[in-house]
């Protein structure tokens, strides 16, 4: 029995040892399998495409405005260059730029030269100058008559539009346009009357010069009195064109006069942009030096263009757009002739459109498209684009307000790719 007992105990010990070895093998294999499975899972996860981070913007409904932004300069509406009416000895001018002048005030004095006055050819030229100035005077008065008729018609149209607007039969934009036309015709009449005053002045000066010559012919040996050159307008000296005293020829420019209180703005734009600008269009003037922006309206687009070299050396065809200031004089009284401004000319505006940032658009085949975020994917959407400015675009078809579009989409963003909004 002892031998059998020992034998059983030994076999039991061997079986226990075998079970421990098997358990260790199973645990080791399990750990190995789990480790290899984890590595495989990590490899699978690493191989899976990651969501592309994107920036999005919401499709919104609201106002959209399209403007043409260009630099411009101010200028005095009606300016006049005072010239010497006859050849003589000119005294030194005492006026300086910015000095105020009154209508009829003495600007300069000239002492006629006797040898020039006795010349028959000069007398004939003086008579011709009188005839030419009288013809210009008649033209100026005819221009006043035309301006008065145009103003009367514009005022009648304005009154009709006011009556229609009171009954609800005319939109506000039509009434605003009629008021602008009446105001523009009033400004034209003011300029025409200024032209008449200038023409009258030219006639008086030409007749005075011719009269001096006639007196010199009759009294060649007598000393001639000084001829005073009066101011044709009330305003200020814009520029002094001739400062030296001494002998000067007839027609020599002396002073440039104008009224700084009657300013307009001139902006040169590309001809491709000019065709979109209509008289009466609203204008905002910024960065002119004041605290707030000024308002204005397009008075006219000049019919003749000119060639201008851009900063990049490219030839451009441009045309001047003349803008009338609409803000009160008190807001821009610091402005003078030739001051720089930045003009934003409105060419289109709607108060209720579907709009998105222009950076979300890209070319697709023959049209435009965007990427719309649906769930966690980017989907290609073809859209119809209307008006655009530098920042936003009007969407006429393809999008509804509230949708999320990808802005500045990279090459990684394609149709169906997973995306992550930053």
Rg over CA atoms, the chain: 42
Query: Same domain, yes or no, for 294 and 356?
Result: no
- Give the three-state DSSP class for 20: helix
Retrieve residue 319's tokens. 């045309």
End residue of a domain, out of 327, 350, 373: 350
CA atoms of 413 and 273, how far apart (whole Å): 35
The answer to whether residues 391 and 336 belong to one domain is no
| Final residue in a domain of this structure, among 200, 226, 258 | 258
pLDDT in tens, 255-288: 999 888 889 999 999 999 999 999 889 999 999 9
Residues of the chain with pLDDT under 50: 1, 115-118, 218, 220-223
Are both 305 and 387 inside the same structural domain? Answer: no
3-state secondary structure of 234: coil
How many domains are there within the chain?
4
2-33 per-position pLDDT tens digit: 555 555 555 555 555 666 667 777 777 788 87
130 and 239 both lie in a single domain: yes
Note whether 59 and 30 are same-domain residues.
Answer: no
Contact in structure between 264 and 311 (CB atoms under 8 Å): no
Q: 400 with 304, same domain?
A: no
Whether residue 41 is contained in a domain is answered as yes
> Which of 198, 229, 258 is where one domain is finished?
258
Helix (H, G, I), strand (E, B) or coil at 309: strand
Cβ contacts of 154 within 8 Å, gap of 6 or more: 178, 181, 182, 184, 185
Residues 290 and 393 in one domain: no
Q: Looking at the structure, do residues 140 and 242 belong to the same domain, yes or no?
A: yes
Residues 113 and 157 in one domain: yes
The answer to whether residue 77 sits within a structural domain is no
Same domain for 302 and 383? no
- The reply to whether 265 and 248 lie within a common domain is no
Q: What's the domain range around 11?
A: 1-48
| Residue 17, in any domain of the structure | yes
CATH number at residue 388: 2.40.420.20
Q: What is the DSSP annotation of 356-398?
A: EEGGG-EEETTEEEEEEEETTEEEEEEEEEEEE-SSEEEEEES
> In what helix (H) or strand (E) does residue 352 lie, and over which residues does it extend?
strand 340-357
Is 361 a domain residue?
A: yes
Give the pLDDT score at 48: 58
Q: How far lies 59's CA from each of 43, 134, 400, 404, 407, in Å? A: 39, 67, 7, 6, 11
Q: For residue 239, list its beta bridge partners.
A: 256
**Are both 118 and 220 inside the same structural domain?**
yes
Residue 404, classed as helix, strand or coil, is strand
């Amino acid at each position: 029995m002892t031998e059998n007992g020992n034998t059983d105990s030994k076999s039991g010990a061997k079986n226990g040892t075998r079970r421990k070895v098997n358990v260790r093998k199973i645990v080791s294999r399990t750990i190995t399998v789990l480790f290899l499975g984890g590595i495989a899972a990590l490899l699978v996860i690493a191989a899976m495409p990651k969501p592309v981070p994107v920036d999005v913007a919401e499709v919104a409904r609201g106002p959209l405005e399209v403007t043409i932004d260009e630099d411009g300069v101010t200028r005095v509406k009606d300016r006049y260059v005072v010239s010497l009416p006859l050849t003589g000895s000119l005294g030194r001018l005492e006026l300086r730029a910015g000095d105020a002048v009154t209508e009829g005030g003495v600007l300069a004095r000239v002492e006629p030269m006797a040898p020039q006055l006795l010349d028959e050819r000069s007398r004939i030229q003086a008579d011709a100058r009188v005839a030419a100035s009288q013809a210009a005077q008649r033209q100026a008065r005819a221009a006043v008559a035309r301006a008065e008729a145009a103003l009367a018609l514009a005022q009648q149209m304005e009154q009709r539009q006011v009556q229609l607007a009171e009954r609800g039969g005319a939109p506000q934009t039509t009434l605003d346009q009629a008021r602008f036309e009446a105001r523009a015709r009033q400004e034209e009449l003011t300029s025409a009357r200024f032209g008449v005053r200038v023409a009258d002045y030219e006639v008086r000066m030409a007749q005075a010069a011719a009269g001096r010559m006639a007196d010199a012919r009759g009294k060649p040996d007598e000393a001639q009195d000084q001829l005073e050159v009066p101011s044709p307008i009330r305003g200020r000296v814009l520029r002094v064109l001739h400062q030296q005293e001494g002998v000067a020829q007839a027609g020599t420019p002396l002073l440039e006069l104008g009224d700084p209180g009657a300013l307009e703005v001139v902006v040169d734009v590309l001809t491709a942009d000019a065709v979109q600008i209509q008289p009466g269009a609203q204008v905002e003037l910024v960065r002119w030096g004041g605290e707030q922006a000024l308002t204005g309206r397009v008075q006219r687009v000049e019919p003749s263009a000119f060639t201008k070299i851009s900063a990049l050396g490219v030839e451009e065809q441009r045309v001047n757009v003349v803008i009338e200031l609409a803000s009160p004089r008190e807001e821009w009284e610091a402005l003078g002739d030739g001051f720089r401004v930045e003009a934003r000319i409105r060419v289109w505006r709607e108060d209720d459109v579907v709009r998105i940032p222009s950076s979300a658009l890209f070319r697709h085949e023959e049209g435009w498209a965007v990427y719309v975020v649906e769930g966690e994917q980017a989907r290609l959407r073809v859209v119809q684009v209307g008006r655009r400015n530098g920042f936003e675009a009007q969407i006429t078809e393809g999008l509804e307000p509230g949708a999320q579009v990808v802005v500045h989409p990279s090459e990684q963003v394609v149709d169906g790719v997973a995306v992550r909004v930053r």
